[in-house]
């Protein structure tokens, strides 16, 4: 990840972020969704390669909980370890902030992302029925969590 630089997302990034979001997701976030995340209690990060944006990650911090709202890698850059690198950095940030829990929702059909989360120690907590729009009706979300207090206990 030598050439990968993380920096805060800003308004000027939104066009490129939306392009990636639309190319990587069947039901992409809107421009307004991202704009909302640039204000308030969110951390919005862009991951930049020398000549292009590789991806982005958005976290909402609520007290001692961090909610991973969006993680996305530009399709041509997927499968190279970038997503794992971004997630590891996010987990590290949450630990630094003394968060106790990281939570996220993921589509039941998104095995690729679930694999990544499981590898990083997340567990399935519950199912949110019909949480996402889908081509036919709605799709369930798997609510996954990473208990950082357990990780801290192990580290001690």
Ligand X SMILES: CC(C)(COP(=O)(O)OP(=O)(O)OC[C@H]1O[C@@H](n2cnc3c(N)ncnc32)[C@H](O)[C@@H]1OP(=O)(O)O)[C@@H](O)C(=O)NCCC(=O)NCCS
Question: Which residues participate in catalysis according to the annotation?
Answer: 105, 117
- At closest approach, how far in Å is the CB of 70 from ligand X? 7
Q: What letters, b where the CB count within 10 A reaches 16 and e where it falls short, cover 116-129? A: bbeeeebeeeeeee
Tally: H helices and E strands in the chain = 5, 7
Task: Please name which of 69, 73, 14, 8 lies closest in space to residue 44, comparing C-alpha atoms.
Answer: 8
Per-residue DSSP letter, 149:
H
- At closest approach, how far in Å is the CB of 153 from ligand X? 26
Tell me which of 10, 115, 126, 149 binds ligand X, using CB under 6 A.
115
Select the span of 6-14, 27-35, 36-44, 109-117 touching ligand X (CB under 6 A).
109-117
Task: Please name which of 84, 89, 95, 85 lies closest in space to residue 153, comparing C-alpha atoms.
Answer: 95
Smaller CB separation from ligand X, 14 or 116? 116
Q: Could you say whether residue 133 binds ligand X (CB under 6 A)?
A: no
**Footprint of ligand X on 8-67 (CB under 6 A):** 24-25
- The residues of the shown chain that bind ligand X, judged by CB under 6 A, are 24-25, 71-73, 78-84, 106, 110, 112-113, 115-116, 119
């Amino acid at each position: 990840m030598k050439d990968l630089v993380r920096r805060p997302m800003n308004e000027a990034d939104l066009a490129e972020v939306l392009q990636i979001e639309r190319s990587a997701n069947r039901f992409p976030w809107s421009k307004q969704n991202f704009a909302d995340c640039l204000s308030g209690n969110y951390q919005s990060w862009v991951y930049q390669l020398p000549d292009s944006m590789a991806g982005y990650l958005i976290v909402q911090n609520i007290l001692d909980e961090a909610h991973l709202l969006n993680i996305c890698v530009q399709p041509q850059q997927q499968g190279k370890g970038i997503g794992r690198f971004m997630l590891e950095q996010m987990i590290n940030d949450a630990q630094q902030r003394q968060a106790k829990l990281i939570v996220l929702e993921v589509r039941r059909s998104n095995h690729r992302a679930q694999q990544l989360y499981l590898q990083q120690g997340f567990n399935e907590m519950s199912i949110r029925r019909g949480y996402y729009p889908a081509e036919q009706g709605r799709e369930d979300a798997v609510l996954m969590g990473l208990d950082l207090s357990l990780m801290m206990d192990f580290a001690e």
